[in-house]
Amino acid sequence: MDGGGAPRTEPGAWGRGLGGLLALAGAALALAFAAPGGAVAQDLEAALGEAEAERAAAKVEVSEEKSRVRAAKARSAAADRRAEPVDAAAREARAESRRLKEELADRETAATAEIADAEATRAKQAEDHDSEVALGVGLALAALVVGGIALGWGWFRASAPVAWLSEQRTGQVVGLCVGGGFVVLVVGGVLSGAGVAGAIGSLLVFLGIALPVAFLLAWRSAAIQRGRAKPLLGRERLPSGVSRGVAGAAAVLLIVGLATALSGGPEPADVSASLRGEAAGEFDAATTAKLTAAEAEAERAVAAAAAPAERSYAAQTALRRERRRLTKAKRKLVRAEGSVDSYSRKITVAARRAGEEQEEEERRRIEEEEATEEEDSGGGGECDPNYSGCLDPNASDYDCAGGSGDGPMYTGPVQVIGSDHYGLDSDGDGYACE
């Protein structure tokens, strides 16, 4: 069909102007997105370079510190090897000196204990001797009393105490004699021991036994004489031989008591001068010389071990210092590697974003180029505003492609957005060439 469009002068000028504007806008947009990303990428690359340089320097430092540690360890091991023999010799010398001192201390303790035992035994013997002397004195005195009573029996029987007892009843007499004798025994037992009190106690013990018997016999004899009691064995008086026998027995006891009292004391404690010297810490010349030599050897060995021990300590101190430096260098390397990893990740993210921006820019550029080509192919960049797509407004007529029209221009499906001056929308629904 024939179209009714009017002819236009310079149809490509408007299209070329619109294409130029689109190209300028795309370039400005590309610069707006590309410039910051590039600056950031450059900053990250610079930071990454610095981090990698720090990492390389840290690796070198770690390697150098490892070498120093190995060297310090070797020096420490060598110093320990040199110090070990002299240190072992010093330990042995000190141990020998201590052993000798402990041995002498044990001997001193043993000597002191032996002397103490001897003196304790001597003191016990002296105490026993004093008790025996007191017992002998008491026995001798009691024998004198008993012997005197036996020899002066008549006088004793007529004495006032016996006369007083003869006036008393039998039960009272027996009670007084037995009870009094018991009291005297108790007092004597309490006073028994060494010294004068012991002698008095022994005397009371013996008299506590002998006097009740003597008083009872005298009381009985007086009672028989007065006819208040029947005589024993058919005799009013004791035979004179009995008195003499008792006196003789008392004399024997007197001799025994005096012999006991006059017996010699115990021998002094048998403690040798050497034993007393050991107890006082004084030993024989050979032992003292041996201890002196051991102490001198210990001092010499300690002095000889001082310098190697000091060098060994210095080497160990240097080794610890190098190990601390190595630890510090390793920490620095770890931080540098962490920085490198961090900047690498950031650069990767920036590169991905830059790639995405570049792809977006390329897509826009392609779209702009396609739009420009379509404008150029439509006649200098102009399109008929009455149809969608881009129909040439300078064409004399358009027909639907594949139809029966004779052209000269043909088009596919288009939308009528203005006046259908080419007569393409036959059904008037706004869509042509369907």
- pLDDT tens profile 197-231: 888 888 888 888 888 888 888 887 777 776 665 65
Closest CA to 141 of 213, 204, 188: 204
Are residues 187 and 99 part of one domain?
Answer: no
Predicted confidence (pLDDT) per residue in 398-433, tens digit: 888 877 777 788 888 888 888 888 888 888 888 888
Structure tokens at 6: 């009017």
pLDDT class for 321, splitting at 50, 70, 90? very high
Are residues 42 and 164 part of one domain?
Answer: no
The verdict on residue 295 lying in a domain is no
Is 121's pLDDT higher than 70?
A: yes
Is 255's pLDDT higher than 60?
A: yes
Are residues 146 and 269 part of one domain?
Answer: yes
The verdict on residue 298 lying in a domain is no
Structure tokens at 31: 């610069």
pLDDT score for 183: 92
Amino acid letter, 279: A
Are residues 351 and 273 part of one domain?
Answer: no
- Burial label for 411, CB within 10 Å (0-12, 13-18, 19+), is buried
Whether 181 contacts 209, CB under 8 Å: yes
Integer-rounded Cα radius of gyration of the chain: 72
Residue ending a domain, choose from 259, 278, 297: 278
The verdict on residue 156 lying in a domain is yes
Q: What is the DSSP track for 171-216?
A: HHHHHHHHHHHHHHHHHHHHH-SSHHHHHHHHHHHHHHHHHHHHHH
Are residues 148 and 121 part of one domain?
Answer: yes
The verdict on residue 49 lying in a domain is yes
- Burial label for 113, CB within 10 Å (0-12, 13-18, 19+), is exposed
Is 126's pLDDT higher than 70?
A: yes
Are residues 132 and 260 part of one domain?
Answer: yes
Secondary structure element (H or E) that encloses residue 39, with its range: helix 12-151
pLDDT score for 149: 83
pLDDT score for 11: 38
Are residues 274 and 155 part of one domain?
Answer: yes
Q: Which domain, by its residues, includes 105?
A: 14-115+346-372
pLDDT score for 419: 83
Is 236's pLDDT higher than 60?
A: no
Higher pLDDT, 390 or 179: 179
In the chain, what is the straight-line distance between the N-terminal and C-terminal CA atoms, in Å? 16
Q: Give the integer Cα–Cα distance in Å for 142 and 258.
A: 11
Are residues 192 and 234 part of one domain?
Answer: yes
Closest CA to 422 of 377, 409, 404: 409
Are residues 109 and 229 part of one domain?
Answer: no
Residue range 99-117: average pLDDT? 89
Predicted confidence (pLDDT) per residue in 22-70, tens digit: 444 444 434 333 444 556 667 878 888 888 888 898 889 899 989 999 9
Structure tokens at 410: 């043909």
pLDDT score for 235: 52
Predicted confidence (pLDDT) per residue in 354-370, tens digit: 888 888 888 888 877 76
Are residues 271 and 129 part of one domain?
Answer: yes
The verdict on residue 222 lying in a domain is yes
What's the whole-number average pLDDT of the chain? Answer: 79
Are residues 202 and 122 part of one domain?
Answer: yes
The verdict on residue 284 lying in a domain is no
Are residues 164 and 175 part of one domain?
Answer: yes
Is 164's pLDDT higher than 70?
A: yes
Is 12's pLDDT higher than 60?
A: no
pLDDT score for 241: 65
Report how many domains make up the chain: 3
Is 135's pLDDT higher than 60?
A: yes
Lowest-confidence segment of 32-36, 254-258, 337-341, 377-381 by average pLDDT: 32-36
Predicted confidence (pLDDT) per residue in 282-297, tens digit: 878 888 888 888 889 8
